[in-house]
A = this chain, B = another copy of it.
Amino acid sequence: MAKQKATNVHWHEGDITREHRSRLLGQRGATLWFTGLSGSGKSTLAVELEGFLHEQGALSYRLDGDNVRLGINRNLGFSAEDRSENIRRIGEVAKLFADCGVIALSSFISPYRADRDQVRSLHEAAGMDFIEIHVDCSLEVAEQRDPKGLYKKARAGEIKNFTGIDDPYEAPEKPEIHLHSDQQSLDEEVQIILGELQQRGIIGQTGSKQ
Contact = CB atoms under 8 A, between A and B. Distances in A.
Given A207-B6, A208-B5, A71 B57 contact: no
Say which size band chain A's interface belongs to: 35 or more
A15 B89 CA distance: 25
A138 interface: no
A33 B14 CA distance: 22
A3 B57 contact: yes
A16 B51 contact: yes
Interface string A178-196: 0000000001000000000
Contacts of A208: 5
The oligomer's copy count stands at: 2
A209 interface: yes
A2 B57 contact: yes
A72 B92 contact: yes
A99 to B, nearest CB: 7
Interface of A: 1-6, 8-13, 15-16, 20-21, 24-26, 47-48, 50-52, 54-57, 59-61, 63, 67, 71-72, 75, 85, 89, 92-93, 95-97, 99-102, 187, 206-209
B55 A15 contact: no
Contacts of A52: 9-11
Nearest to A5: B207
